[in-house]
Amino acid sequence: MLNIIALIIKTIWLLIPAYTPNNFAVVFGGGMPIDFRKKFIDGKRILGDGKTIRGFVFGVMGGILCGMIQYKIEPIFNLNLFSSLSIFDAFCLIFALSFGSLSGDVFGSFIKRRAGIERGGVFPVFDQLTFLAVSLLFAYLISPHFSSLFTREVIVTGLIVTPVLHLIANIIAFKLGLKNVPW
């Protein structure tokens, strides 16, 4: 039981640079959309107004900032994850997670628009797993140290825990009156 809890905490910690970029995008996003308001051949927007250049740039920077803070504070919590790498190697891994996360988010919106789902419309599970899958894929491709931290069990735990965390966060936001629906 304790081992499972430790694994879940470790997984969430490692995924913070993938989780946080979208929150920074919500706060700092706006302005010109990434698709320059252009339509795809199906007549629908390529990505939609929810994907902005500013959101993408500040989102990636926010994720990197969180990851580098984690790198610095790990010793306080007796953790040796990102800080088991050199600062350069940790930066590359964190950058890949963060950049991959918002790239996956863009890809997700592209698919949603093709499926006829409007900007802001929910696509449960897909919404929570595309960003994660692309984030992990980028980190795997860019960082030679990926598999030393992201073991098979961490990846499986991440795929299970992420949609559950998302649901819990939305239920809390709903109870607090920040959202109209609990999903």
> Which residues form the interface with ligand CTP (CB under 6 A)?
22, 25-26, 29-30, 48, 50-52, 55-56, 59, 102, 105, 109, 112, 119-121
Choose from ligand CTP, K ion, none: what does 25 bind? Cβ within 5-8 Å by kind: ligand CTP
Q: How far is the CB of 73 from K ion (least distance, A)?
A: 28
Minimum CB distance to K ion smaller for 130 or for 157: 130
One-letter-per-residue 3-state SS of the chain? CHHHHHHHHHHHHHHHHHHHHHHHHHHHCCCCECCCCCECCCCCECCCCCCEHHHHHHHHHHHHHHHHHHHHHHHHHCCCCHHHCCHHHHHHHHHHHHHHHHHHHHHHHHHHHHCCCCCCCCCCCHHHHHHHHHHHHHHHHHCCCHHHHCCHHHHHHHHHHHHHHHHHHHHHHHHCCCCCCCC
Measured between alpha carbons, how far is 108 from 62 in angstroms, rounded to an integer?
20
Minimum CB distance to K ion smaller for 79 or for 159: 159
Residue 124 CB: number of other CB atoms within 10 A? 11
- The β-bridge partners of 33 are 52
Minimum CB distance to ligand CTP smaller for 50 or for 63: 50
Minimum CB distance to K ion smaller for 9 or for 168: 168
From residue 97 to residue 136, what is the string marking binding to K ion with x (rule CB under 5 A)? --------x-------------------------------
Q: How far is the CB of 173 from K ion (least distance, A)?
A: 15
Instruction: Compute how many residues bind K ion; rule: CB under 5 A.
Output: 1
Minimum CB distance to ligand CTP smaller for 71 or for 99: 99
Query: Which parts of this chain interact with K ion (CB under 5 A)?
Result: 105
